[in-house]
C-alpha cells in the first residue's frame, strides 16, 4: 500500500481553485463561507480583482498557486484548456498536493493529467450541479449544496488521494460521492445528461422547421416545455458538451435511433405493431419506478487497504452514494465509509 500523502483533519485542509468560471467561482465562494483557506487563479486579471474583492486569495500566476503547496488543487477549467493547465501545474506543484477537477467528462481529463505526469496525484471528480448561466459573475456559494459528485478511480489512483477527495466532498462540501471509472462515468452522463440535451435540441429543431411552427408552439403543453428546457441554454455550450464526450454520446444517439426506428416501423405497419410498441413503452419501467422510490438504506462499509478501489467501485456500481468517511490519523488504521443507497 502506498501512502504518499498524510491525511489532515478536513477543517484544516487548504484548497486551491484553478479558474473562476461558474463552477470554480461557486466552489471558491462555498469554501470561503465554510472557513476553508482557499486560494485561486484565473487567467483574467479583472476576474482575479473581483475575486480579491470577494475575500479570496488570488494568485497572479498559475505556477505560483501550484507551488504554494495546498493540500488539494481543484481544476475547474473548461475541457479545452485542461491540457495546457495541467502542464503548467506540473512545472511547480509539490508531490504532496492532490489534484482533482470538475470536468463533465473524465477520460479526456485523465489523458491530460497523465500526459503532464500527474496521474498518481490525481482523482477525477465531477460535481453534478450547474445552471444555464456561466462565469464568475453568476457564481453561487450554494450551487453545490447537497450535490452528488462523480468520483473516478483508475489503476494509478492512490488510496490517500481518493480519501482526501472523499473527505473534501463529504465533510467540507457536504456532498455525496458516486465512485466509478472514467469510462462508466462518461457513458453514464452521455445517457442521463448529454442525450437529453441532444433530444431537446431535436425537439426544438423539428418544431422550428415545421410548416406549422407558429401554431404548433402555441399548442405546446408540459411535455414539450419540459423536454426542451435545456435547449433554452447556450447552444454553443451544449454543442461543446456533446463534442467533449463524443464517443459516448455517439453510442447513446445510436441507441436512440435504434429505439426510434423500432417505433417508426411499428407505427408504419398496416396494423400498428402492438407487441413492439408495448415493449418500447414499458422498457423504461425499472427507471421510472426507481425514480419514484424515495427510500434509501444507510450503512457503513469498512475499506480493506488491499481492495479499497474495488470496494468503492462496487458501491458506485449499485448506484449507492458515499456520504461520509472516517479515517484514523494514521491511514493504516480503519477506514469507514458511510453509504446511502441500494447496498
- CA dist 152 and 148 (Å) reads 13
Phi, psi of 178 (to 5 degrees): -110, 110
- The correct pick among 83, 120, 188, 338 for binding a copy of itself (CB under 8 A) is 188
Kindly state whether residue 306 participates in binding a copy of itself, applying the rule CB under 8 A: no
Interaction residues for a copy of itself, span 134-163 (CB under 8 A): 148, 150
Q: CB 166 → a copy of itself: shortest distance, Å? A: 16
Interaction residues for a copy of itself, span 13-32 (CB under 8 A): none
Q: How far is it between the farthest Cα atoms of the chain?
A: 72
Phi, psi of 99 (to 5 degrees): -115, 135
- The correct pick among 2, 46, 215, 275 for binding a copy of itself (CB under 8 A) is 215
- CA dist 17 and 6 (Å) reads 21
- The correct pick among 53, 221, 294, 330 for binding a copy of itself (CB under 8 A) is 221
Q: CB 162 → a copy of itself: shortest distance, Å? A: 17
Nearer to a copy of itself, 9 or 214 (CB): 214
Interaction residues for a copy of itself, span 261-290 (CB under 8 A): 261, 263-264, 267-268, 272, 277-278, 280-288, 290
Kindly state whether residue 8 participates in binding a copy of itself, applying the rule CB under 8 A: no
- The correct pick among 229, 306, 307, 310 for binding a copy of itself (CB under 8 A) is 229
Interaction residues for a copy of itself, span 27-86 (CB under 8 A): none
Kindly state whether residue 2 participates in binding a copy of itself, applying the rule CB under 8 A: no
- Ramachandran assignment for 11, one of left (phi > 0), alpha (psi -120 to 50 degrees), beta (any other): alpha
Other CB atoms within a 10 A radius of the CB of residue 142 amount to 11
Nearer to a copy of itself, 2 or 215 (CB): 215
Q: Report the relative pairing of strands 14-18 and 37-41 from DSSP bridges.
A: parallel
Phi, psi of 281 (to 5 degrees): -75, -15
Long-range contacts, 239-243 (Cβ 8 Å, 24+) = 240/78, 240/79, 240/80, 241/104, 241/193, 241/194, 241/197, 242/194, 242/197, 242/198
- Provide the mask over 101-120, with x wherever binding to a copy of itself is found by CB under 8 A and - wherever it is not: --------------------
Q: CB 18 → a copy of itself: shortest distance, Å? A: 24
Q: CB 334 → a copy of itself: shortest distance, Å? A: 26
- CA dist 321 and 55 (Å) reads 33
Q: CB 125 → a copy of itself: shortest distance, Å? A: 13
Kindly state whether residue 239 participates in binding a copy of itself, applying the rule CB under 8 A: yes
Beta-sheet strand order (sheet of 148-153): 124-127, 148-153, 176-181, 321-327, 335-341, 297-303
Kindly state whether residue 189 participates in binding a copy of itself, applying the rule CB under 8 A: yes
Amino acid at each position: 500500500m502506498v501512502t504518499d500523502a498524510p491525511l489532515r483533519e478536513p477543517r484544516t485542509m487548504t484548497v486551491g481553485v484553478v479558474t473562476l468560471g461558474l463552477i470554480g467561482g461557486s466552489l471558491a465562494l462555498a469554501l470561503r463561507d465554510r472557513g476553508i483557506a482557499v486560494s485561486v487563479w484565473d487567467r483574467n486579471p479583472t476576474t482575479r480583482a473581483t475575486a480579491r474583492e470577494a475575500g479570496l486569495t488570488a494568485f497572479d500566476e498559475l505556477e505560483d498557486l501550484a507551488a504554494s503547496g495546498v493540500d488539494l488543487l481543484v481544476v475547474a477549467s473548461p475541457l479545452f484548456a485542461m491540457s495546457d493547465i495541467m502542464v503548467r501545474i506540473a512545472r511547480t506543484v509539490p508531490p504532496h498536493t492532490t489534484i482533482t477537477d470538475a470536468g463533465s467528462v473524465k477520460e479526456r481529463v485523465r489523458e491530460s493529467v497523465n500526459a503532464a505526469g500527474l496521474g498518481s496525484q490525481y482523482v477525477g471528480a465531477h460535481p453534478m450541479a450547474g445552471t444555464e448561466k456561466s462565469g464568475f459573475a453568476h457564481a453561487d456559494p450554494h450551487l453545490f449544496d447537497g450535490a452528488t459528485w462523480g468520483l473516478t478511480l483508475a489503476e494509478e489512483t492512490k488510496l490517500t488521494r481518493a480519501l482526501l477527495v472523499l473527505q473534501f466532498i463529504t465533510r467540507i462540501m457536504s456532498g455525496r460521492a458516486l465512485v466509478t471509472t472514467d469510462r462508466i462515468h462518461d457513458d453514464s452522463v452521455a445517457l442521463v445528461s448529454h442525450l437529453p440535451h441532444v433530444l431537446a435540441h431535436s425537439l426544438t429543431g423539428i418544431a422550428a422547421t415545421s410548416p406549422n411552427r407558429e401554431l404548433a408552439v402555441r399548442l405546446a403543453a408540459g411535455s414539450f416545455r419540459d423536454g426542451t428546457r435545456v435547449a433554452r441554454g447556450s447552444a454553443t455550450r451544449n454543442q461543446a458538451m456533446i463534442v467533449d464526450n463524443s464517443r459516448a454520446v455517439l453510442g447513446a444517439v445510436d441507441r436512440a435511433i435504434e429505439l426510434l426506428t423500432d417505433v417508426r416501423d411499428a407505427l408504419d405497419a398496416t396494423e400498428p405493431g402492438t407487441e413492439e410498441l408495448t415493449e418500447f413503452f414499458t422498457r423504461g419501467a425499472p427507471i421510472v419506478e426507481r425514480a419514484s422510490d424515495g427510500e434509501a438504506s444507510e450503512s457503513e462499509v469498512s475499506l480493506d487497504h488491499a481492495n479499497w478501489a474495488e470496494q468503492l467501485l462496487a458501491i458506485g456500481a449499485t448506484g449507492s452514494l458515499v456520504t461520509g468517511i472516517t479515517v484514523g490519523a494514521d491511514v493504516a488504521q480503519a477506514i469507514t465509509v458511510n453509504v446511502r443507497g441500494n447496498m
